[in-house]
Amino acid sequence: MRLAELSERSGVSTATIKYYLREGLLAPGHQVNATTAEYDEEHLRRLRLVRAMIQVGRLPVATVREVLEHVDDDSLGRTIRLGAALWALPQVPEPDEDDEYVQAAHREADGLLEVLGWANARMLTTVSPSYRSLVVAIAAFRRLGYDWDAQRLVFYAMLMHEAARYDLDFVEAQPSEAEKAESAVISAVLVEPMLQALHRLAQEEESARRYGFG
């Protein structure tokens, strides 16, 4: 398809597509002559992914480019490839390791992983942004005077483990390694907001059931 058709099918303007091409978010088309290029279904799929990351995920172009570089890196094994792509997404700042709340949160998080038997996750605690996010959240709870210990978090962790199984079932159903990595990014960018929305809707529903609307 030509640029105009790619624009029509994707709903993205030709000017924006050209910008994505210049920024390296979209692979160049197959050059027909000096002024014309052809694009295929892979360009269309990638373009839709880029739009979702920018419009729905609110990711800056530089972050999208970094994520896609990992998605397209054939030299990486699947676990590292997926992890690298996800870790390139925006993360919480590094916690202050001298803070007593952070130190306590590390103990709670480590205890949680031990109770769950998540040996692989425990090996990644020094590098995983997800582990860092957990520590930051637990520390914030402790500062507010709430004691969310490992036992209280086990229930939530088990729910998330089931969600992760569904996520990876979806990833494994994709035909190529690049599409598997892409689908993992889609899950992070789009599924996580849906899970958050469902959690809040469930809280609203349960609150109304318990307390009514008065």
Return the CATH number at 28: 1.10.1660.10
User: Is residue 116 scored above 80 in pLDDT?
Assistant: yes
Q: Which residue has the tokens 């480019």?
A: 65
Neighbours of 70 (CB within 10 A): 19
Q: Are 72 and 122 in the same domain?
A: no
Q: Which domain holds residue 19?
A: 3-82
* 90 part of a folded domain: no
* 92 part of a folded domain: no
* 87 part of a folded domain: no
Q: Residue 30 is inside which H or E element, if any?
A: strand 30-31
End position of a domain, from candidates 55, 82, 109: 82
Contact 70, 76 (CB under 8 A): yes
Q: Are 193 and 106 in the same domain?
A: yes
Note the pTM of the prediction, 2 decimals.
0.71
pLDDT digits (tens, 9 = 90+) for 120-149: 888 878 778 888 989 999 999 989 988 776
Structure tokens at 168: 């990876």
Cα 64 from chain centre: 11
* 93 part of a folded domain: no
pLDDT digits (tens, 9 = 90+) for 55-75: 877 888 988 888 888 777 777
pLDDT digits (tens, 9 = 90+) for 167-209: 889 888 988 877 887 787 777 777 888 888 999 999 999 999 9
Number of independent structural domains in the chain: 2
Average confidence (pLDDT) over 150-158: 86
Q: Are 123 and 73 in the same domain?
A: no
**Amino acid present at 213:** F
Write down the pLDDT at residue 72.
79
